Amino acid sequence: MATRKLHLNVNLLHSGVYASAWRRPESDPHAGFDVGHYVNVARVAERGKFDAIFLADTPAITDRVDYRPIQSLEPTIVLASVAAATTHIGLIATASTTYNEPYNIARRFATLDHASGGRSGWNAVTTADAAAGRNFGLPAVLEHRARYDRAKEFVEVVHKLWDSWEDDAFVGDKASARFVDTGKVHAINHRGQYYSVDGPLNVPRSPQGRPVTVQAGGSGDGRDLAAAQADAVFTLAQSVEEGVAYARDLRARAVAYGRASDSIVILPGLATVIGSTEAEAKRRQDELWELVPIEYSLARLAGTLHVSPDRLELDKPLPDLPLPANANQTMFLGTVALARKDNLTVRQLLKALGGGVGHRFIIGTPEAIADDIETWFRAGAADGFNLMPDVLPTGLEVFVDEVVPLLQRRGIFRSEYEGRTLRDHFGLERPPSRYAKRAGAAIPA
């Protein structure tokens, strides 16, 4: 049994996780719209032997673009450029299960897997933002449960399409004019509540068999989808105890679906502000914070909590708020947990959030950050982290130069890539095609 190794992704949020990152002297304000920036950050992550870079996405303007960068460029096209400029780093992009069709998503990520030699990953999200719905003729966000019911069938159809070619279907025999053995290319004939898809996919089976499937919702519905279909999950946890409880629950759900308990890689978000001393790190946090207009982060917090901003008094604790029916449950609960954990006033909470949405921040020296990561990893609260450096690329460069060597010396993080595919990096099996004929086995209808 291989020793358990830590996994590290970078969540490539345009100029950095801090809302004011683009205003730093060292930052290029245009970086978020520049494919070259993503290639550069990916190369830094690859130099640090990271597992993958991740591009979040929402098909709409969901933030105050008058003030800060937004998710903009289509992530799989950006990752295709990154693939051509890198050799090992995994390439994970978000694509919505509510505002796409399974056939198109299966084709896009299988193609990225071919283009990258097996490094593609799909973060399957249901998209909780109302603004996206209005770009697709939906006046409001679909109800939480309905979004996940649709997502479950959506992911199932994509997996079937990825399996629709057997590994050796391509023949390419010029002499016999046999290009493909069509006996090894299967219609999926999916008939479900939301989708009717004949297939097969028109892309041969990709290097990983199936690109990696990621899920990022911590609600009961989200966990059920992850337990049934995900290879990795992005989570949000504010304490080791919360991380351990989540991991135990998700692993039990996976076993209930007949999967191995360690078949899912659990990656909480971790935002970092690094300094050579704690005081320097705090000073850097203050500088970044002072560049965030408070009415902006107050409006953002009010959005996450589904309340009007004037219900949030800056120098008072958060009022007691009910969990909104159709909210982004993970972000709501994560934000409230952060406020209650340290009994923060709204003003202190806004600073702790850095103008963001509830992920855990660590402000400190490389040693302190390595200690924190090692504690969560050894406690089983995380298999690794979805890192969100304060400013990109500088915050990641410091992490790669200062923290990664500490993690390597402690024997918990790789010093060299052992494999080439994202599944190799995550320590995940290459799944067989469900349609591949096993001696004597009937082909499923």
* Binding positions for ligand FMN, rule: CB under 6 A: 56-58, 94, 123, 125, 127-128, 216-219, 221-222, 234-236, 269, 328-330, 386
Cβ nearer to ligand FMN, comparing 58 with 76: 58
Cβ nearer to ligand FMN, comparing 330 with 365: 330
Least Å from the CB of residue 327 to ligand FMN: 7
d(CA 291, CA 302): 20
Q: Are 227 and 188 in contact (CB under 8 A)?
A: no
Least Å from the CB of residue 216 to ligand FMN: 4
Least Å from the CB of residue 338 to ligand FMN: 14
Cβ nearer to ligand FMN, comparing 235 with 433: 235
Listed residue (113, 117, 9, 86) closest to 53, CA to CA? 9
| Cα end-to-end span (Å), the chain | 37
Cβ nearer to ligand FMN, comparing 165 with 385: 385
Instruction: Report the residue number whose CB is nearest to ligand FMN.
Output: 217
Beta pairing partners, 345: 317
d(CA 328, CA 306): 10
Cβ nearer to ligand FMN, comparing 27 with 127: 127
Return the amino acid letter for 339.
A
Least Å from the CB of residue 56 to ligand FMN: 3
- The strand pair at 384-389 and 265-274 is best described as parallel
Least Å from the CB of residue 267 to ligand FMN: 8
Tokens, residue 97: 């299960």
d(CA 267, CA 264): 10
Least Å from the CB of residue 246 to ligand FMN: 11
Cβ nearer to ligand FMN, comparing 169 with 353: 353
Least Å from the CB of residue 54 to ligand FMN: 7
Q: How far is CA 94 from CA 39, 46, 97, 108, 206, in A?
A: 17, 20, 10, 12, 19
d(CA 346, CA 361): 16
- Would you tell me how many other CB atoms lie within 10 Å of the CB of residue 179? 12
Least Å from the CB of residue 11 to ligand FMN: 6
Cβ nearer to ligand FMN, comparing 206 with 219: 219
Least Å from the CB of residue 70 to ligand FMN: 12
Return the amino acid letter for 398.
V
Burial class (CB in 10 A: 0-12, 13-18, 19+), 47: middle
Cβ nearer to ligand FMN, comparing 10 with 185: 10
Beta pairing partners, 387: 10, 270
- Would you tell me how many other CB atoms lie within 10 Å of the CB of residue 145? 13
Least Å from the CB of residue 330 to ligand FMN: 3
Least Å from the CB of residue 221 to ligand FMN: 6
d(CA 23, CA 31): 11
Cβ nearer to ligand FMN, comparing 197 with 396: 396
In 3-state terms, what secondary structure has residue 389? strand
DSSP string for 392-429: TTHHHHHIIIIIHHHHHHTTSS-SS---SSHHHHHT--
Cβ nearer to ligand FMN, comparing 116 with 219: 219
d(CA 182, CA 191): 22
Cβ nearer to ligand FMN, comparing 120 with 219: 219
Q: Are 391 and 14 in contact (CB under 8 A)?
A: no
d(CA 93, CA 132): 17
